[in-house]
Amino acid sequence: NSLANTANSVTNTRSTPPHIIRELENGLLADAAYTSPKYFYDAVGSVLFEAICVLPEYYPTRTESEIFTRHMADMAQSIGAGGSLIDLGAGNCAKAARLFPVLHPDQYVPIDISVSHLQDAVRRLQQRFPHIEMTALGLDLAQDWKLPAEVRRDQRLFFYPGSSIGNFEPEEALAFLCHLRAACDRTGGILIGVDLIKDKALLDAAYDDSLGVTAAFNLNLLRHINHLLHADFDVRQWQHEAFFNTEKSRIEMHLRAREDIQVSWPGGQRNFIKGEHIHTENSYKYSIQGFNALLADAGFSHSCHWTDKNEWFAVIHAKA
């Protein structure tokens, strides 16, 4: 079986960058196959994620939004006015825009993997808030990145909502926080959304909703990989699986083979036996204490947090 799982150096004429092809092949050919969650977000995947965010079972988006509504004034008090607001993974910039009227940043720096996705949103925002200097940046936060000189150095506030930090392994999360700490001086800080450890049944339902939207989101990954790798995954042969792994404090998402499956792409192939799976995502959940410890390890000095009445989600402000 493993002999049949091969990659060779057949050159391809696809437009997918070679490092992406290599990364996908490495994951698919590993004994325990895996893929990176960044491949969820093609055009269909991005729309499915927006749908997930309004599902009754998916509490994080709604709960975080309620926390901002309720505690915005306190947050502004803790953060102070002015400075630059650096939005990590800005998308449509809507979450940050809610902060403008209370935080009054001098500069807004939305960052996303592709700057073209930001352009429309930034143009509209610039009209509503003409006094805020806006600089959109296209950077991959998972790679090494550096802010250009036009981003003022003092009073940097890194904004990282939505519990995106959960996709990092805890040691990667620490490295990422260290990187942010190094990018601000003593007047800087971060404002971050963190999903909290809670009852397993609630977590399981949030990632395996009754409508099957999260299942479609997970399965769509195979369509995206077919496109990137010219592979021949048949979505109907796979089953969505998501559960809270209590020992590891993380949601795991997998795609399970419903039958014996052979997948091929130019230069490689992989056999999956019935029941074998591809690990597609981890979403780590933290306690407030645990996350504060991570912030302290990263060199942040003081932190303040706000939460909902059920303590399902937290927004944390940490000063450098």
Residues near ligand AVJ (CB under 6 A) are 52, 60, 162-164, 166-167, 207, 214, 281, 283
If phi > 0 it is left, if psi is from -120 to 50 it is alpha, else beta; for residue 305 that is beta
Shortest distance, position 68 Cβ to ligand AVJ, whole Å: 16
Is there a contact between 255 and 239 (Cβ–Cβ < 8 Å)?
Answer: yes
Closer to ligand AVJ at the Cβ: 105 or 166?
Answer: 166
User: Token match 């020992």: residue?
Assistant: 247
Shortest distance, position 54 Cβ to ligand AVJ, whole Å: 12
Closer to ligand AVJ at the Cβ: 167 or 249?
Answer: 167
Tell me the C-alpha distance between 12 and 267, whole Å. 8
Shortest distance, position 59 Cβ to ligand AVJ, whole Å: 10
Shortest distance, position 27 Cβ to ligand AVJ, whole Å: 17
Handedness of CA 115, 119, 125, 129 (dihedral sign): positive
Closer to ligand AVJ at the Cβ: 265 or 313?
Answer: 313
Q: Please tell me the number of Cα atoms within 13 Å of 279 on its side-chain side.
A: 15
Shortest distance, position 164 Cβ to ligand AVJ, whole Å: 5
Closer to ligand AVJ at the Cβ: 25 or 308?
Answer: 308
Q: What tokens does 14 get?
A: 């696809």
**Which amino acid is residue 139, in one-letter code?**
L
- Furthest-apart CA pair in the chain: how many Å? 63
Closer to ligand AVJ at the Cβ: 84 or 220?
Answer: 220
Report the residue number whose CB is nearest to ligand AVJ. Answer: 283
Rounded to the nearest 5 degrees, what angle is found at the Cα of 176, between the Cα atoms of 213 and 162? 30
Shortest distance, position 246 Cβ to ligand AVJ, whole Å: 17
Shortest distance, position 11 Cβ to ligand AVJ, whole Å: 35
Closer to ligand AVJ at the Cβ: 135 or 167?
Answer: 167
**DSSP strand E in 161-287: where?**
189-195, 238-245, 250-257, 261-265, 268-272, 277-284
Torsion angles phi and psi, residue 70, rounded to 5: -75, -35
Shortest distance, position 242 Cβ to ligand AVJ, whole Å: 7
Q: How many CB atoms lie within 10 A of CB 52?
A: 20
Tell me the C-alpha distance between 292 and 308, whole Å. 17
Closer to ligand AVJ at the Cβ: 35 or 214?
Answer: 214
Closer to ligand AVJ at the Cβ: 168 or 265?
Answer: 168
**DSSP strand E in the chain: where?**
6-7, 84-88, 107-112, 133-134, 137-138, 156-160, 189-195, 238-245, 250-257, 261-265, 268-272, 277-284, 302-307, 313-319
Tell me the C-alpha distance between 208 and 152, whole Å. 43
User: Token match 């936060």: residue?
Assistant: 141
Shortest distance, position 13 Cβ to ligand AVJ, whole Å: 33
Please list the residues that pair with 279 across neighbouring strands.
34, 254
Task: State how far Cα 40 lies from the chain centre.
Answer: 10
Closer to ligand AVJ at the Cβ: 60 or 189?
Answer: 60
